[in-house]
Chain A
Amino acid sequence: MTTVGYVLRRLAASALLLLLLTLLTFTLYRAIPANPAGFLVDLSPGHAPSPEQIARAEKALGVDKPLWEQYGLYLWRAVHGDLGLAYEGTTFVPLTNERTGQAVAPAVLHAAMVTGSLVIGGALFALLLSIPLGAIAASRPRSLTDRTILVVTLIGICTHPLVVALLLQQFPGRQWGIAPASGYCRFFGAAQTTIDPATFRPALGCAGPGAWASHLVLPWITFALFFLAVYTRLVRVRMIEVMDEPFIRTAAAKGASRSRIVRHHALRNAMSPVLALVGMDIGLALGIALYIESVYRLPGLGLTTLAALNGTVGFDLPMILGVVLAIGLVIIVLNFAIDLVILWMDPRAAQAGTRRTAVGRVV
């Protein structure tokens, strides 16, 4: 009963979060005086379109209706999977009052794949390194190894991810030529010429798993270095705590070897707060991804947002709403999945109820 109630409450809160986010974005951007009609007809001084032309553009964009009606219509279409057409680069269909342009949903999906490649790869890197490092540091607290790991991770925490990104791009990327310094390649499909979403310059395309991975090496390292520091410290603290618990002494008394104790008894119990922090850090990770995407010019969700905010005429609201919805959904789904994994790994968490005890961080 409690599990069902818990799931229902979580779902309701998630729906509310999405509703609030879209409503906030919608009203915020509609309240800005810039008229989106400028995307269809030239409103700049000296061109002076007739009121009929402006009205036609507003009708095609759907901004002639009252605000609440626009919002309702948007929600109705969104639950049917239609996020509309972007404002940027939109044109009239000849001889009609309809408009055509880039569809938001596939564009956001593609951007989400780019950000996903970056974040998932980087997170795997960070976790696969930080769990052994934290366990090693915890196995001999206050030893030279432990102190070295602590100092190095402290430096990692205090370095701005932008600094890491810029330095990695400059030295291994540009001057030493070890890995590509910027750009993104699709994992699937053939090479094609693409337009950089921010600069509108055509770029010679590339594709394939090898090119994909090589272009992501530096972004992955940048991402991992930031989170490596925090997670190594967390694993270390948790391991030191867990190694003091009675069940570890019991395992040792039964004659289990030290490595068996660490791997089978301690690590499993030390993992649940680590996973809880992964859940809390999804938002943070997307923020860090914004820095990394800008420096390495990866056309992910962050760069898409920045391009939509800095459009030629004004804000590209459908694109911004699409990104906000995508991020909200990802956060909700991943948090839910992580809750289930924690319940599976550590059934005591179900009784504890409040697992979110770690103090949050902002960057």
Chain B
Amino acid sequence: MSATAATGTIDETASPARSPSRLAWRRLRRDRAALVSTGFLAFLLLAVLPGAPLLGKIVGHGPNDFFPSAVDVSLKPTGPWSYVADSAMVPPPPGTGKTLLVLGADGPLGRDELQRLLYGGRVSLTVAVGATLLALLIGTTLGTLAAFFGGWIDSVISRFTELVMAFPVLLLAIMLGSTVAGKLNGVTLGGALNQGVVSLILLIGLFTWFYPARIVRSLIVSLRAREFVEAAEMVGSSNARIMRTHLFPHVIPALAVWATLAVATNIMLEAGITFLGVGIKLPTASWGSMLAATWGTVLAPLPYNPSSFSPWLTILPSAMIFLTVLALTLLGEGLREAFDPRGGR
């Protein structure tokens, strides 16, 4: 108390020292688009993680249950908020109760569209986040090694990166996915993940680690020659310690921005790979497989039938993908500006 009183005159003029992360946080809080996006993403996580099973409890059926009475004679699924007979039999046995399909049915099989959207979102987000984490792990490690040791390690990693980046990632993922991933589809980590999730995470992660590797490498190459690294070397710090405590904190902002945008592109990649028939297998829902609901598969496209066609089955998963990707992109841009307000774009 007395100490502040003694220095009171100085405190009024000098602004308190703020760490870079605190400054970034202050800037991010003023970015309305980033805040709305964060709110939407939090809502989505709540809806997808505890929300999906909760909804199942309330309406009393799961995302893979069939309701033939939710489909009319021309195989057109019912619209939103319809009560249908709670039975998988045709015709439903007498005395069957009714069950609620909040967003209607998902196609000729008559499954709950809203539940499939939520469970599908869970699968899509798991794949996107998992693949991003895997890419971060591989990319940060290899990028740090390349920048720190230089020489042949650097040239091998850099050349390899350039080679693979030139080739269409989607095509490689599909070619590899249809050969190798079949063996990994059974891996579910004790039932914690759906079939195909692990193989998609590996597939996407293994083809996208070049980006964090390049970011980390270029940042560390420029930091490597700075005085504080020299000072740490002089007092006898080990290489591992220098990387961990002196270099790594500097790359976190750039990696956070990349990771946010990467989750967005990975959601798109998952949808694309699954749409093309290589990713998540039915009956598991994912936003990619739901996109294909009105379209069929690559090998067997559904013939267009105006009487049973239901455009909302395409529009709902499309909207979910769009909103999630938009929110992640806005958040990523917000983070980029918060960490580096003068850095272009």
A contact residues around B174 at 8 Å (CB): 290, 305-306, 309
* 12 CB < 8 A contacts A-B: A13-B162, A158-B329, A159-B325, A167-B318, A170-B294, A170-B311, A283-B167, A283-B169, A291-B275, A306-B298, A310-B178, A331-B167
| Whole-angstrom CA separation of A237 from B343 in the bound complex | 12
The answer to whether A113 has its CB under 8 Å from any CB of chain B is: no
Q: Which of B246-302 contact A (CB under 8 A)?
A: 262, 264-265, 268-269, 271-272, 275-277, 291, 294-295, 298-301
A contact residues around B163 at 8 Å (CB): 13, 16-17, 20
The one of A32, A294, A328 in contact with B298, judged by C-beta atoms closer than 8 angstroms, is A294
The answer to whether B232 has its CB under 8 Å from any CB of chain A is: no
Are B168 and A166 within 8 A (Cβ)? no
The one of B170, B175, B311, B318 in contact with A309, judged by C-beta atoms closer than 8 angstroms, is B175
B contact residues around A109 at 8 Å (CB): none
Are A17 and B276 within 8 A (Cβ)? no
Q: Identify 19 new A-B residue pairs, CB closer than 8 A, beyond the known A13-B159, A163-B318.
A: A25-B175, A157-B329, A162-B275, A163-B291, A166-B294, A166-B295, A166-B314, A175-B306, A280-B166, A283-B168, A290-B170, A303-B298, A306-B277, A309-B178, A331-B167, A360-B165, A360-B210, A362-B207, A362-B211
B contact residues around A50 at 8 Å (CB): none
Chain A's closest residue to B300 (CB) is A199
The answer to whether B89 has its CB under 8 Å from any CB of chain A is: no
Are A154 and B326 within 8 A (Cβ)? yes
Chain B interface residues (CB < 8 Å from chain A): 159, 162-163, 165-171, 174-176, 178-180, 207-208, 210-211, 214-215, 262, 264-265, 268-269, 271-272, 275-277, 291, 294-295, 298-301, 304, 306, 311, 314-315, 318, 321-322, 325-326, 329, 344-345
Q: Which of A314-331 contact B (CB under 8 A)?
A: 315, 320, 324, 327-328, 331
- Closest chain-A Cβ to B65's Cβ sits at a distance in Å of 26
A266-310 to B contact mask, C-beta < 8 Å, 1/0: 000000000000001011101100110011010000110111011
Knowing A21-B167, A287-B170, A362-B269, the reply to whether A297 touches B175 (Cβ < 8 A) is: no
| Whole-angstrom CA separation of A189 from B301 in the bound complex | 28
Chain A's closest residue to B261 (CB) is A361
The answer to whether A190 has its CB under 8 Å from any CB of chain B is: no
B contact residues around A332 at 8 Å (CB): 166
The one of B271, B304, B311, B326 in contact with A162, judged by C-beta atoms closer than 8 angstroms, is B271
Are A287 and B318 within 8 A (Cβ)? no
- Closest chain-A Cβ to B102's Cβ sits at a distance in Å of 23
A348-363 to B contact mask, C-beta < 8 Å, 1/0: 0000000000011111
| Whole-angstrom CA separation of A291 from B170 in the bound complex | 10
Are A160 and B321 within 8 A (Cβ)? yes
- Closest chain-A Cβ to B108's Cβ sits at a distance in Å of 18
Chain A's closest residue to B311 (CB) is A170
10 nearest A-B pairs in the assembled complex, by CB-CB distance: A287-B170, A163-B318, A158-B326, A287-B168, A286-B168, A283-B168, A158-B325, A309-B178, A306-B298, A17-B163
Are B169 and A362 within 8 A (Cβ)? yes
- Closest chain-A Cβ to B154's Cβ sits at a distance in Å of 14
Are B291 and A162 within 8 A (Cβ)? yes
Chain B's closest residue to A287 (CB) is B170
Knowing A162-B271, A310-B298, the reply to whether A237 touches B167 (Cβ < 8 A) is: no
Are B211 and A310 within 8 A (Cβ)? no
- Closest chain-B Cβ to A67's Cβ sits at a distance in Å of 16
Chain B's closest residue to A332 (CB) is B166
The answer to whether A117 has its CB under 8 Å from any CB of chain B is: no
Are B268 and A363 within 8 A (Cβ)? yes
B contact residues around A21 at 8 Å (CB): 167
Interface size on A, residues (CB 8 A): 57
B contact residues around A362 at 8 Å (CB): 169, 207-208, 211, 262, 265, 269
Chain B's closest residue to A361 (CB) is B265
Are A170 and B314 within 8 A (Cβ)? yes
Are B180 and A28 within 8 A (Cβ)? yes
| Whole-angstrom CA separation of A310 from B314 in the bound complex | 25
Are B171 and A327 within 8 A (Cβ)? yes
- Closest chain-A Cβ to B82's Cβ sits at a distance in Å of 23
Knowing A16-B163, A157-B329, A309-B175, the reply to whether A363 touches B298 (Cβ < 8 A) is: no
Are B299 and A198 within 8 A (Cβ)? yes
Most buried by A among B269, B298, B301: B298
| Whole-angstrom CA separation of A166 from B312 in the bound complex | 12
The one of A157, A160, A328 in contact with B272, judged by C-beta atoms closer than 8 angstroms, is A160
Chain B's closest residue to A293 (CB) is B298
Are B170 and A29 within 8 A (Cβ)? no
A contact residues around B215 at 8 Å (CB): 359
A contact residues around B304 at 8 Å (CB): 174, 181
Knowing A174-B304, A199-B299, A335-B166, the reply to whether A154 touches B314 (Cβ < 8 A) is: no
B contact residues around A166 at 8 Å (CB): 291, 294-295, 314, 318
Q: Which of A150-168 contact B (CB under 8 A)?
A: 154-155, 157-160, 162-163, 166-167
| Whole-angstrom CA separation of A158 from B294 in the bound complex | 22
Chain A's closest residue to B218 (CB) is A357
- Closest chain-B Cβ to A31's Cβ sits at a distance in Å of 8
B contact residues around A324 at 8 Å (CB): 175
Chain B's closest residue to A303 (CB) is B298
| Whole-angstrom CA separation of A284 from B318 in the bound complex | 21
| Whole-angstrom CA separation of A335 from B166 in the bound complex | 9
Knowing A28-B176, A160-B318, A362-B265, the reply to whether A198 touches B298 (Cβ < 8 A) is: yes
B contact residues around A327 at 8 Å (CB): 167-168, 171
A contact residues around B176 at 8 Å (CB): 28
Are A158 and B301 within 8 A (Cβ)? no
| Whole-angstrom CA separation of A345 from B120 in the bound complex | 48
| Whole-angstrom CA separation of A291 from B273 in the bound complex | 9
Most buried by A among B167, B294, B295, B344: B167
The one of B167, B171, B208, B271 in contact with A290, judged by C-beta atoms closer than 8 angstroms, is B171
Chain A's closest residue to B314 (CB) is A166
Are A359 and B211 within 8 A (Cβ)? yes
